[in-house]
Amino acid sequence: MVSRRLAGFTLFELLGIILLVSVLSLVLYDRFLGYQALAEKTAMEMTVINMRSGLRLRVAELMMGGKMDEIAGLVHENPINWLAAPPPNYIGALQNPEQSAIPGNAWYFDTSRHELIYMPGSGNIFATQPRASVVRFRVAATIHPPVKGGSKIPKVEGVTLVRVP
């Protein structure tokens, strides 16, 4: 005669296993979301690094061609144009778009403000900063102050891609 204890799980053991599996699933899901947000942030930062490299290359091309006066014109250019290929989540150059119409995890260039904008897809991808609905970048000019006794017009020495607070 086989005792009831050897026949299988008790209800209490089954509930314990279900509870344990549920807690482990929640922990893994939370980790997954954290890694997903980290991957999105890294992809955004790498795109910005590539645009900064493209900008440096563009400035070097102008300097080598003796077109120093054209460097100031880069302030109004779309930084995506300096990349070999636009990122797959770039939706184009738009003028005053509705923020609600832009999908998450997407780049676009606001032609009216001359800003490159990234719409985060995951929750808060910037843990150290308050939750931002958008991340804005702008090309800023590095201006050399006029020399005393020389020209009164400030001279643009270079440009850089900066994050707009």
Q: Per-residue DSSP letters for 77-117?
A: S-GGGGSSS--TTEEEEESS--GGGSPSSEEEEETTTTEEE
Q: Facing residues of 117 across strands?
A: 108, 136
Q: How far apart are CA 124 and CA 10, in angstroms?
A: 43
Looking at per-residue pLDDT, the higher value among 108 and 142 belongs to 108
Write out pLDDT tens, residues 52-72. 999 999 989 988 888 888 888
How large is the average pLDDT for residues 107-117? 92
The overall average pLDDT reported for the chain is 84
Residue 92 zone, left/alpha/beta (φ > 0; ψ -120 to 50; rest) = left
Q: Which long-range contacts (CB under 8 A, 24 or more apart) does 96-104 make?
A: 99/133, 99/134
Q: Categorize the per-residue pLDDT at 107 as very low, low, confident or very high, splitting at 50, 70 and 90.
A: very high
The answer on pLDDT for 144 being more than 80 is no
Task: Please report, rounded to a whole number, the percentage of residues in the chain having pLDDT higher than 90.
Answer: 33
Identify the pLDDT of residue 37: 87
Find the farthest-apart pair of alpha carbons in the chain and give their distance in angstroms, rounded: 111
How large is the average pLDDT for residues 7-36? 90
The answer on pLDDT for 151 being more than 70 is no
How large is the average pLDDT for residues 68-90? 88
pTM of this structure: 0.74
Identify the pLDDT of residue 52: 93
